[in-house]
């Protein structure tokens, strides 16, 4: 395989593993509980340890498709003839290639009667090819529309559950948090329309690239910044989680933190290696364009890329072989 192609494939594989690890870390109930207490009105003022018990079952991580018609599990009958309806958690291979919610789960409110559907999305950076808020609006719309035949039947729209789509965006210029929701502006008359406009909620959390200072107003951002940092070592992350946030270091959390740190280091190492190889290939292409001899090219590699003659000769031969193969 072409060396550059091989490196690209390997780096993508590591990045995919890293992204999945981020979701797994955020998907731990105690981490979700910290997010809920700071981002959602219903749980403000509560201790994360209390909120954990309101999270129902295990959060679905990268299992539920966003696409219309796939978010719901198909309605089917059990042996007693009863309908079984739920969030679609079928084998991901069946719907390979579809976009999925990063994390989605049900949580009960303090009255232990009402349910809220929560979606958490992690973004390493603010995307440049589309507006992230537009994507959040699409996701929140799917969270509402997919409830039909799962959370309510027919035209019983009063049973629609409140939904939150929470977006954690890393490497931002500053810490921020915004609540985007519906408002009711009276244009004419005094009629009071019945309904619950608070059903749709988007929370955008921007986490600064540099670790937030240690104070109450930045408490959630510091936790997320430390947890998902590519700069902090595993020991530093675990120290912050345990000593500042009193998060008991269950084996699964500790293992996920260490795995993410290892993958982060792997991405950095591959990026550095890829950058060096890009530099080597640039020297080789320029040498060929300038019709330099083999000896002159190897000299340029040794001087420009700070390498030994034997290593320069190896790269030269590999490059010439790739050139001949492509002819």
pLDDT digits (tens, 9 = 90+) for 12-48: 344 545 677 788 888 889 999 999 999 999 999 999 9
Mean pLDDT over all residues of the chain?
Answer: 79
Q: Which residues contact 103 (CB under 8 A, 6 or more apart)?
A: 23, 26, 27, 32, 59, 60, 61, 118, 119, 120, 121
Give yes or no: residues 208 and 61 share one domain: yes
In a domain, residue 21? The reply is: no
Give yes or no: residues 56 and 9 share one domain: no
Give yes or no: residues 174 and 262 share one domain: no
In a domain, residue 23? The reply is: no
190: tokens are: 């005094």
Of the candidates 249, 281, 296, which is a domain's last residue? 249
Give yes or no: residues 141 and 267 share one domain: no
% residues pLDDT > 70 (the chain): 75
Distance CA 162, CA 151 (A): 11
Q: Domain range holding 308?
A: 1-14+254-327
Of the candidates 249, 266, 291, which is a domain's last residue? 249
Locus of tokens 């089917």: 76
pLDDT attached to residue 196: 94
Phi, psi of 298 (to 5 degrees): -65, -40
Give yes or no: residues 5 and 35 share one domain: no
Give yes or no: residues 146 and 276 share one domain: no
Edge-first strand order for the sheet with 103-108 is: 60-61, 103-108, 115-123, 162-172, 200-208, 176-181
Distance CA 114, CA 162 (A): 9
CB contact at 8 A, 115 and 57: no
Among the residue ranges 114-123, 184-193, 294-303, the one predicted with the least confidence is 294-303
Q: pTM for this structure?
A: 0.71
The total number of structural domains that make up the chain: 2
pLDDT attached to residue 308: 82
pLDDT in tens, 64-120: 878 766 666 533 433 433 333 445 544 444 444 467 888 999 999 988 889 999 999
Give yes or no: residues 244 and 265 share one domain: no
Of the candidates 214, 229, 249, which is a domain's last residue? 249
Give yes or no: residues 96 and 238 share one domain: yes
Distance CA 87, CA 76 (A): 13
**Looking at the predicted structure, is the pLDDT value of residue 133 above 80?**
yes
In a domain, residue 19? The reply is: no
pLDDT attached to residue 20: 76
| CA distances from residue 82 to 77, 79, 85 in whole angstroms, order as listed | 5, 7, 10
**Looking at the predicted structure, is the pLDDT value of residue 219 above 80?**
yes
Give yes or no: residues 181 and 42 share one domain: yes
Distance CA 105, CA 161 (A): 12
If one compares 204 and 317, the residue with the highest pLDDT of the two is 204
In a domain, residue 87? The reply is: yes
pLDDT bin (cut points 50, 70, 90) of residue 203 is: very high
In a domain, residue 22? The reply is: no
Give yes or no: residues 232 and 284 share one domain: no
């Amino acid at each position: 395989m072409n060396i550059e192609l091989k490196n690209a494939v390997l780096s993508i594989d590591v990045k995919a593993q890293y992204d999945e690890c981020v979701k797994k870390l955020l998907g731990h109930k105690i981490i979700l509980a910290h997010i809920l207490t700071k981002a959602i009105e219903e749980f403000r003022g509560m201790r994360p340890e209390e909120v954990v018990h309101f999270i129902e079952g295990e959060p679905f991580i990268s299992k539920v498709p966003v696409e219309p018609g796939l978010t719901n599990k198909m309605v089917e009958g059990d042996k007693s003839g009863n309908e079984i309806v739920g969030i679609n958690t079928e084998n991901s291979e069946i719907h390979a290639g579809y976009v999925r919610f990063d994390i989605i789960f049900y949580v009960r409110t303090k009255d232990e009667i009402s349910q809220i559907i929560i979606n958490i999305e992690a973004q390493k950076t603010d995307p440049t090819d589309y507006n992230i808020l537009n994507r959040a609006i699409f996701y929140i719309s799917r969270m509402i529309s997919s409830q039909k035949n799962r959370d309510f039947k027919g035209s019983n729209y009063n049973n629609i559950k409140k939904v939150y789509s929470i977006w954690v965006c890393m490497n931002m210029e500053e810490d921020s948090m915004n609540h985007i929701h519906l408002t009711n502006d009276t244009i004419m008359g005094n009629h009071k329309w019945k309904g619950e406009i608070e059903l749709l909620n988007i929370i955008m959390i921007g986490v600064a690239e540099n670790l937030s200072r240690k104070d109450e107003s930045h408490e959630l951002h510091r936790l997320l910044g430390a947890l998902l940092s590519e700069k902090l070592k595993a020991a530093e992350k675990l120290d912050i989680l345990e000593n500042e946030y009193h998060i008991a270091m269950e084996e699964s959390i500790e293992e996920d933190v260490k795995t993410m740190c290892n993958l982060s280091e792997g991405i950095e190492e591959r990026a550095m290696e890829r950058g060096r190889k890009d530099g080597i290939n640039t020297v080789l292409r320029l040498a060929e364009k300038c019709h330099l001899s083999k000896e002159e090219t190897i000299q340029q590699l040794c001087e420009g890329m700070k390498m030994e003659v034997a290593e320069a000769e190896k790269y030269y031969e590999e490059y010439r072989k790739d050139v001949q193969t492509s002819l």
